[in-house]
Amino acid sequence: MKWLDYSRFFNLSAKHRVASLLRLTAKDSILNKSNRILMGGGMPNPKVFLMKEGMITLKDGRTIALPPALMEDALQYGASDGYEPLLKQLNSLTKRLHSPPCWSNSQILVTAGIQSALCMAIEIFIEQNDYVVVEDPCYCGALAIMYPYNPRFLPVESDADGINPEKLRVALSKWKPEQARSATHGVPKFIYTNPNGCNPTGGITSTERRKEIYKIASEYNLIILEDDPYYFLQYREQKDFPPSYLSMDVDGRVLRFDSFSKTLSAGLRVAYVTGPRQLVDKICLYQQVSVAHPPSLSQIIISEILRTLGEDGFLEHTKQLQKFYRDQRDAIVKAASKFLSSLCEWSVPEGGMFLWLKVRDVKDSLGVVDRALKDYTLLIIPGSGFVPDGAKPCPYVRISFSVVSPQEMEEGFRRLASAIRAELEENRKSENERNHSERPELIRRV
């Protein structure tokens, strides 16, 4: 099979970056330490580490031991691409869930959280003033990575069914598909999307739209950045999950980002990126010179949990997560219906942890958000943070329902309703005063 020519996608830094000699020798030391005299690397002597062994107790009572030999590995430098046993587990899980058509040319890289993975991936592509295709609204953490490059955003409207393919075609219509085969015409290099339980909307891109988006990406030679931390938080049977972009990637143009933050632990900071070897290798070079490698202790804990649960046990665990967050979703929608039905509009989220509320009769939600915090001690997020043009007024707010109880949801929305009414009343007063002050001027003109 002939793979894509990836040279058009890389920026100058990525093209010039070379492997770190110390990182390469570190991996060699780890894989071959039993028959080597290690006088090359700068590894600290494990004899001076204070921790000797450990024990982790799962909620079901099972225990996971970290004996001295394993603890020694957990406290030491690791390979830049990840802990070998964990990589094998992730390879197996990825093949089971996604069956990538380009698997023979695929590679997995473990990273220190999904945000780090996104940052490294975007920063091997993006250059100053590049055109960049993003969904609108868009995860603010991805936008924050791009802003320093002054990108020319091509926002593509999304709704409860995800990115609108027709709007994507319109956004790309200033170029001809054949221009996308070289780097000289300014054609965007990638499209960023959060297809399942989208942050902030909670929408899920439909199968039909995914197929059409992939087709368009192929026509215009775009890399698809599939940011999918909420994959297991879709509120439908797992057998009914729409196919991932990775699972339909016959060209080798998808970089998929997965995370354990929503399934096992947010604080351990373990995620992974899967995609064409030529792209993942470039990201790994970036990781070598930034964080060097993902946390060894975190990776070993995740690996040992996966070993203890087994693949089937882990997937069963994700079904329990689905139920918990589905119940949370139902509770937040019920509370919104009780307190906000006359003040806000929303679509019921099909996944994720968020409710995307449109406040009626306001152009920008910043006033409501500020008043909610100052006068009603309620913290919510303004929608403007999720709009590529952050200066553009946005009437939406993002509500998280992941950690609040049903009682707190009701109290929170009671406070939000009060804040909205107070803001609307103040806006009416300001409008009346403005109209009153303009009236004498109109009389003088007459």
Name residues whose C-beta falls within 8 Å of residue 305's C-beta, 6 or more positions apart in sequence.
Answer: 56, 58, 64, 264, 314
Helix/strand/coil for 66 = strand
pLDDT value at 181 more than 60: yes
pLDDT value at 11 more than 60: yes
Answer whether 276's CB lies under 8 Å from 106's CB: yes
Helix/strand/coil for 133 = strand
Helix/strand/coil for 254 = strand
Amino acid type, 128: Q
Separation of alpha carbons 346 and 356, rounded Å: 6
Name residues whose C-beta falls within 8 Å of residue 226's C-beta, 6 or more positions apart in sequence.
Answer: 193, 195, 244, 245, 246, 254, 255, 256, 257
Beta strands 106-111; 271-276: pairing state: antiparallel
- Note the pLDDT tens digit of each residue in 251-288: 999 999 999 999 999 999 999 999 999 999 999 999 99
pLDDT value at 442 more than 60: no
Of residues 22 and 348, more confidently modeled: 348
Comparing CA positions, the residue from 326, 324, 325, 332 lying closest to residue 412 is 332
pLDDT value at 153 more than 80: yes
Comparing CA positions, the residue from 166, 150, 146, 148 lying closest to residue 158 is 166
Separation of alpha carbons 96 and 99, rounded Å: 6
Structure tokens at 182: 């070289």
- Note the pLDDT tens digit of each residue in 108-138: 999 999 999 999 999 999 999 999 999 999 9
The pTM for the full model equals 0.93
pLDDT for residue 398: 99
pLDDT for residue 304: 98
Comparing CA positions, the residue from 251, 355, 289 lying closest to residue 24 is 289
The pLDDT mean for the chain works out to 93
